[in-house]
Amino acid sequence: MFIYAFMKPYFPKIEDIRKAAETIRQVADITPLTQSIRYSKAYDANILLKREDLHRVRSYKIRGAFNKISSLTKEETVNGVVCASAGNHAQGVAFACNHLGIKGTIYMPSVTPKQKVEQTKLFGGDWVTVVLEGDTFDDSSNAAKKFCSAEKKTYIHPFDDPKIIEGQATVGLEILEQTKKPIDYVFVAVGGGGLASGLCAVFKTLSPQTKIIGVEPEGAPSMKTSIEKGVNTELEHIDKFIDGAAVKRVGNLTFNICKEYLHDMVTVPEGKVCQTILDLYNRDAIVVEPAGALTITVLDDFKEEIKGKNVICIVSGSNNDITRTAEIKERALLYGKLKHYFIIRFPQRPGALKEFVVDILGPTDDITHFEYSKKSSRENAPAVVGIELKSPEDLAPLIKRMKDNNFFGDYINDKPDLFQYLI
């Protein structure tokens, strides 16, 4: 006779999450839960921001990393640890290694913003070695796992580990302790799903009426795709711009939790996220990284549902690199239909450029990009021209004036392959 034992799927226990909260209290302060007057007014709701960007490593990732590394055996601590990260998990692991005196090797994608790399080295000090390898998190993760196996070290997964999930779940405990009002919605950014899984566990147990909404970048919808297909699915291609939430495949543990307990799983365009980043900086003096702005960006899509409700947006991190500001602005303008690129055919005669500026451009149109190539054998010489508008409605009249005066060559915003090649 055979006896089959079926294990229940992993689901975090409140007692383990409370234990994690005690552990991380050594290094992580309780982050503020503050009302956003501007967003509350805009959406006719009580919008509260959980400021996880205010940790000393500037993201919630210190919670899970420290909880996991603190749980290692003596043998494991002696052998050292390895992790892979696009930046925030790396900083959490680095800080934990330095604090606990454990050697760590941290793999990061080669495209990781320099600011995140330098911060990781700063937090880790002499206890941490940073290795830049691969173009995506998944590339770095594969390299880290090979090294880990060869050197017999402990791999600190960024999201698919019970101790990581339980550490991230402490965000939910804090929220419930910080407000006496019933919470209607919690919006959480989803990369690998560690934070979302932890929040699902806390609110399912302690506040089951609360709806947990997961938010991913439009260009990396790994959790949304997996939930829709009913199986954890690896994406072939992703947009790596929102690096803190761009993974090809979510965790198995996190997928099983999120598919059952998330109220909804949605995506938002990268360009719209960029506009939120600029708004938060210019109007609220809040600096966030792209992943940190996901939860606020998505509020537009829920404006009718959240009216009169108590809403929590997790601001997950602020590790932004100032060198990315130009790209953030560019993406925001393109999304808002305020930045347009053309191939302009200039007649090869004196005064053609002056005519274009005076007669073709509108009074508020501004040239922000210009690449000209003169061909003596042609009547018209092409130029790639970027024009910033004050209003999306200015585009159609601009194109008409170009065509009426034989300047128009092509509009390249809607030609992705050509756009990437030329700009």
Q: What is the pLDDT of residues 92-151, one digit of tens each?
A: 999 999 999 999 999 998 888 787 899 999 999 999 999 999 887 778 889 999 999 999
pLDDT (average), residues 267-281: 97
Tell me which of 89-93, 109-113, 299-303 is least confident.
109-113
Residue showing tokens 């239909």: 337
Q: What is the rounded average pLDDT for all residues in the chain?
A: 92
pLDDT class of 216 with cuts at 50, 70, 90: very high
pLDDT at 51 over 80: yes
Residue showing tokens 């390249």: 412
pLDDT at 418 over 80: no
pLDDT at 63 over 50: yes
Q: Identify the DSSP state of 29.
A: P
Q: What tokens were used for 117? A: 């790399």
409, 413, 419, 423: CA torsion to nearest 10: 90
Do 235 and 225 meet the contact criterion of CB atoms below 8 Å apart? yes
Instruction: Return the axis-axis angle of helices 61-70 and 14-24, rounded to nearest 10°.
Output: 90
Residue showing tokens 């699915």: 233
Instruction: Return the axis-axis angle of helices 14-24 and 194-206, rounded to nearest 10°.
Output: 120
Q: What is the C-alpha to C-alpha distance for residues 291 and 385, in angstroms, rounded to an integer? A: 31
Please give the pLDDT value at position 363: 94
Instruction: Give which of 215, 195, 197 is closest to 205, Cα–Cα.
Output: 197
Q: What tokens were used for 101? A: 């005196």
pLDDT at 279 over 50: yes
Own/partner pairs for 38-44, CB < 8 Å, 24+ apart? 38/283, 38/284, 39/296, 39/299, 39/313, 42/299, 43/299, 43/303, 43/306, 43/307, 43/311, 44/307, 44/308
Please give the pLDDT value at position 28: 92
DSSP tally for the chain: helices H, then strands E = 17, 14
pLDDT (average), residues 359-370: 94
pLDDT above 90: percentage of residues in the chain: 80
Identity of residue 46: N
> Between these two residues, 173 and 353, which has the higher pLDDT value?
173
Please give the pLDDT value at position 91: 95
Please give the pLDDT value at position 350: 84
Q: What is the C-alpha to C-alpha distance for residues 256 and 350, in angstroms, rounded to an integer? A: 67
Q: What is the C-alpha to C-alpha distance for residues 72 and 81, in angstroms, rounded to an integer? A: 10
Question: Between vectors from CA 8 to CA 7 and to CA 13, what angle results, nearest 5°?
Answer: 130
Q: What tokens were used for 99? A: 């604090």
pLDDT at 197 over 80: yes
Do 121 and 97 meet the contact criterion of CB atoms below 8 Å apart? no
Kindly list the distances between the CA atom of residue 180 and the CA atoms of 46, 177, 183, 280, in Å, as whole numbers in the listed order. 13, 7, 9, 27
Which stretch, 76-90, 94-108, 379-393, has highest mean pLDDT? 94-108
Backbone angles phi, psi at 262, to 5 degrees: -70, 135
pLDDT above 70: percentage of residues in the chain: 95
**pLDDT per residue over 150-196, tens digit each?**
999 999 999 999 999 999 999 999 999 999 899 999 999 999 999 99
pTM for this entry: 0.91
SS3 183: coil
Environment class of residue 149 by beta-carbon count within 10 Å: exposed (0-12), middle (13-18) or buried (19+)?
exposed
SS3 87: coil
pLDDT class of 5 with cuts at 50, 70, 90: very low
DSSP string, 373-413: ---TTSSEEEEEEEEE-SSGGGHHHHHHHHHHTT-EEEE-T
Please give the pLDDT value at position 1: 42
Domains and CATH numbers, the chain: 14-59+165-329 (3.40.50.1100), 61-155 (3.40.50.1100), 337-422 (3.30.70.260)
> Between these two residues, 236 and 321, which has the higher pLDDT value?
236
Please give the pLDDT value at position 144: 95
Do β-strands 380-388 and 366-372 pair in parallel, antiparallel, or remain unpaired?
antiparallel
pLDDT at 422 over 90: no
Residues assigned a catalytic role: 61, 316
SS3 74: helix
